[in-house]
Amino acid sequence: MSRTFEPDLESYRRAAVIGGGVIGVSWAGLFLARGIDVVINDPRPDIEDLVRAGLAEITPALAALGLPTENLTAGLTFEADLATAVADVDIVQENGPERLELKRRIWETVEAAAPAHALLATSTSSIPATAIAEAMRAPERLIVGHPFNPPHLVPLVEIVPGARTAPATVEQATAFYTALGKKPQVLRKEVPGFVANRLQAALFRECVHLVAEGVVTERQLDDVMTSSIGMRWAVAGPFRTFHLGGGPDGLPHFIDHLGRAMETGLWPLLGNPTFDDATVALLTEQAREAFGDASVEQLAAERDRAQIALMRALGETPDTERARA
């Protein structure tokens, strides 16, 4: 492949979304709002109802992001046969169950049936492209495009090439997700959990420890986060934050002083909790106290409204990006 990939959606007319769960619906909504026709492939008999209901649910968020949502489903179709579904598409985004054998079977079928120019991406959060592509004749075509849930809202897409993924595929994926309004990051190594989920795991381990030790409640810990580090990290990542915490000499000065104090004084003390019965019972009880009787759906809608307000304030919604361009 010698063509270069421009960050526009001109050549993306039609997408196959494999798996119509929460992630698939969210990708489908974003693709449709961006003018890309979508064919959903999913074996469930009630898939059409599920996807249409899911799209109706996220439409207000798409609109609030400044995306066009009129006749959103005009370009939506369903095709239960996988080879037929991908036969005439420009991008395949696969969101099947996280089972290696199943993904291998899916991708064997896809690569045989999809057009040669199509971008082939899996949303997997836990299975490396290298492992899935072992069953493929053209492993250079497969790439991980792992969104942070939900993809229509959160900008990050982790692009994780496998050992045999072609550089051109990396370039193609980066251009596509950028044109879609996302913020892709290309990882330089395939590591379990990629980056964002490892960071979440590292932080959550200490959260569970502090609650299990009775230092704070879940509600307090959440409030600590939103009223300090969380609002910091929304505008400046941890390295920038500590660069600014190092005085005029920045990060090197931070490391020499506070960083070394952290290494010797805090890292060895961080907790190693387990989800044993007592911990799970405590976390469950405190979740009930913190989140009460409100439905998860209702709380999620509130969270997403706040999220969109934040993104608008920071100029990170698709409409403000277009306005700046």
Residues 126-155 touching a second copy, rule: CB under 8 A, are 126, 148-149, 154-155
CB of 7 or CB of 230, closer to a second copy: 230
Beta bridge partners of 156: 183
Q: Could you tell me how many residues of this chain bind a second copy (CB under 8 A)?
A: 104
Beta bridge partners of 146: 158
Give the single-character DSSP code of 73.
Answer: G
Site for a second copy, residues 294 to 323, rule: CB under 8 A: 295-297, 299-300, 303, 306-307, 309-314, 316
CB of 84 or CB of 228, closer to a second copy: 228
Q: Give the CA distances from residue 168 to residues 65, 89, 131, 254, in Å, rounded to whole numbers and listed in that order.
A: 31, 18, 20, 39
CB of 89 or CB of 132, closer to a second copy: 132
Q: x-or-dash pattern for a second copy, window 22-61, by CB under 8 A?
A: ----------------------------------------
Alpha-carbon distance of 253 to 223, in angstroms, equals 30
Please calculate the CA angle 316-322-323 and round it to the nearest 5 degrees: 95
Give the range of 88-96, 113-121, 134-142, 179-187 binding a second copy by CB under 8 A. 179-187
Q: Give the CA distances from residue 177 to residues 5, 93, 99, in Å, rounded to whole numbers and listed in that order.
A: 11, 11, 25
Going by C-alpha positions, the residue among 197, 125, 190 that lies closest to residue 164 is 190
Which tokens go with 234?
Answer: 């929304």
| Closest CB 210 distance from a second copy, rounded Å | 6
Q: Beta strand 119-122 with 76-78: parallel, antiparallel or unpaired?
A: unpaired
| Closest CB 119 distance from a second copy, rounded Å | 21
CB of 296 or CB of 325, closer to a second copy: 296
Going by C-alpha positions, the residue among 191, 221, 197, 229 that lies closest to residue 286 is 221
CB of 103 or CB of 243, closer to a second copy: 243
Site for a second copy, residues 266 to 285, rule: CB under 8 A: 266-267, 269-270, 272, 274-275, 280, 283-284
Does residue 185 bind a second copy (CB under 8 A)? yes
Going by C-alpha positions, the residue among 230, 146, 137 that lies closest to residue 195 is 146
Does residue 87 bind a second copy (CB under 8 A)? no
| Closest CB 74 distance from a second copy, rounded Å | 30
CB of 111 or CB of 145, closer to a second copy: 145
Torsion of CA 166, 26, 230, 193, to 10 degrees: -40
Alpha-carbon distance of 215 to 209, in angstroms, equals 9
CB of 112 or CB of 204, closer to a second copy: 204
Interface with a second copy (CB under 8 A), residue from 263, 278, 322, 323: 263
Alpha-carbon distance of 70 to 60, in angstroms, equals 11
Site for a second copy, residues 198 to 257, rule: CB under 8 A: 198-207, 210-211, 213-216, 218-240, 242-252, 255
Site for a second copy, residues 99 to 128, rule: CB under 8 A: 126
CB of 84 or CB of 200, closer to a second copy: 200
Strands of the 119-122 sheet, one edge to the other = 76-78, 37-41, 14-18, 91-94, 119-122, 142-147, 156-161, 183-186
Does residue 177 bind a second copy (CB under 8 A)? no
Interface with a second copy (CB under 8 A), residue from 287, 321, 322, 323: 287
